[in-house]
Amino acid sequence: MKNHLAGRVNSPIPIPAYYPSDIIKGEGPYIFNKNGDKYIDMWMGYGALLFGHADPDIIQTINNNIKNGWFFSYQTYFEKELSNIIHDIIPSAEKVRFATTGSDVVAYSIRASKSYTDRQKVLSIIGGYHGVHEGMIPSASIPDNQNLDLIPFNDIVAVKEKLKNKEYACFLLEPILANSGCTPPRENYLKEIRKICDNTGTVLIFDEIVMGFRVNIHGAQGLYNVTPDLSLFSKAIAGGLPLSVVCGRKEIMESFIPTGNVFFAGTFNANPLSLNVSKTVIKKLKNGNFYTKTQKLGDDLRDYIREQINRLQIPACVQGIASMLTVAFGCKSFIKGIKLEGCDDTVYNFFIEEMAKRHILLPPLPTETVFLSPVHESVIDEIKIAIKQSLEEVKDKHYR
């Protein structure tokens, strides 16, 4: 079939030639290409698919709701219903607004922060990723001329130095760095940031688009007991359907029209189908089974990979939290994110090619994060065997 896509893709992430490119189906831990070849998926829709592919409860929700219509020009009951649910479970969510993508709510949160503080500068993290709009793409090493400064993750001295002059509208960061390898915060890092932002009048924004609802029903802010001024969610909140959320302090959220002067609009914002799926996702998470299972899976797999790294005496590490993990080569750990700590992309690329030969797909970039789901329980032994064999190939090829 001819490919008329610009650049042949819809995403700039370089998918290796040895990965499948004609996916037509997903089921549980698997994806299938048009020829029926089956692969274990360890990327899980960039983390959006908490319950694996084609979760029966989500399918049932879609079927039950789509027959009533899936798009209206008018405000729906579901918007108010889900806003109440989010208000009850997210510590920062005094007020809530729905949009469509993560990039949307990042842009809206920055605009609200600038309006609220009457400042223009934005502070963020080297190696973080906060969407594709002008103003934030330099954090992902893409040139841009906007008013943005970047500092290393987990460096509280850098935060103090930057914010002391009270020039910044907001400090925007992932509370768990997830786009430069999975890098949890140092102890008290987030609490110290909260104090500094309070003292300098800087709006603290947690971008929980990746880890929100994956590490805790109350978000990373609930896990670490640190409440930001604004919070951003997407991906997992609607099980992979298009939905994003900005929520936070009432006085900042009311910067949006009609109570303020910050424009906030989008044709497909608060799509009823996505809202109803989000209700199902949250209901499934509330019983706690997801977190118990994925914590056990994550701990077990991280321990196993460490055992293999130590057995083979490979200069590598694995780190992460809950259902998230990253394997990095050429370093023993990373606390500021992979981009600042010399991890070896070449060896990582060799490793994932070996895994793909065994029909297991990891994120194609070393900066991306592996995401586990309870559906991986049934294939965890197969995953471990592939990791063992692939690391042996890494040892033989690169570290003899």
What's the predicted TM-score (pTM) here?
0.94
Domain end marker among 233, 251, 286: 286
Residue 13 falls within a domain, yes or no?
A: no
Domain end marker among 233, 264, 286: 286
Residue 6 falls within a domain, yes or no?
A: no
Q: Are residues 281 and 339 in the same domain?
A: no
Residue 5 falls within a domain, yes or no?
A: no
Which residues pair with residue 183 across a beta bridge? Answer: 177
pLDDT at 11: 79
Handedness of CA 204, 210, 213, 214 (dihedral sign): negative
- Reading the block at residue 252, the tokens are 């900042």
pLDDT at 135: 63
Tens digit of pLDDT at every position of the chain (400 positions)? 888 888 777 877 778 889 998 999 999 999 999 999 999 999 999 999 999 999 999 999 999 999 999 999 999 999 999 999 999 999 999 999 999 999 999 999 999 999 999 999 999 999 888 887 766 655 544 445 467 999 999 999 999 999 999 999 999 999 999 989 999 999 999 999 999 999 999 999 999 999 999 999 999 999 999 999 999 999 999 999 999 999 999 999 999 999 999 999 899 999 999 999 999 999 999 988 999 999 999 999 999 999 999 999 999 999 999 999 999 999 888 899 887 777 899 999 999 999 999 999 999 999 999 999 999 999 999 999 999 999 999 999 998 8
Q: Are residues 253 and 297 in the same domain?
A: no
- Domain count along the chain: 2
Residue 372 falls within a domain, yes or no?
A: yes
Which residue type does 317 have? C
CB neighbour list of residue 11: distance below 8 Å, 6 or more residues apart: none
Residue 223 falls within a domain, yes or no?
A: yes
Q: Are residues 245 and 107 in the same domain?
A: yes
pLDDT at 134: 61
pLDDT at 5: 80
Q: Are residues 83 and 200 in the same domain?
A: yes
Residue 320 falls within a domain, yes or no?
A: yes
Note whether 30 and 37 are within 8 A (CB). no
Note the pLDDT tens digit of each residue in 143-186: 454 679 999 999 999 999 999 999 999 999 999 999 899 999 99
What CATH number did the domain enclosing 42 receive? 3.90.1150.10
Q: Are residues 195 and 306 in the same domain?
A: no
Note whether 33 and 361 are within 8 A (CB). no
Domain end marker among 254, 286, 318: 286
Q: Are residues 134 and 196 in the same domain?
A: yes
CB neighbour list of residue 191: distance below 8 Å, 6 or more residues apart: 224, 225, 226
Distances (CA, A) of 212 to 20, 198, 324, 396: 29, 23, 12, 39
Residue 2 falls within a domain, yes or no?
A: no
Query: Per-residue b/e over 251-277, b at no fewer than 16 CB within 10 Å?
Result: ebbbbbeeebebebeeeebbbbbbbbb
Q: Are residues 204 and 328 in the same domain?
A: no
- The domain in which residue 377 lies consists of 20-49+288-398
Q: Which residue has the tokens 């056990």?
A: 296
What CATH number did the domain enclosing 71 receive? 3.40.640.10
Residue 11 falls within a domain, yes or no?
A: no
Q: Are residues 81 and 210 in the same domain?
A: yes
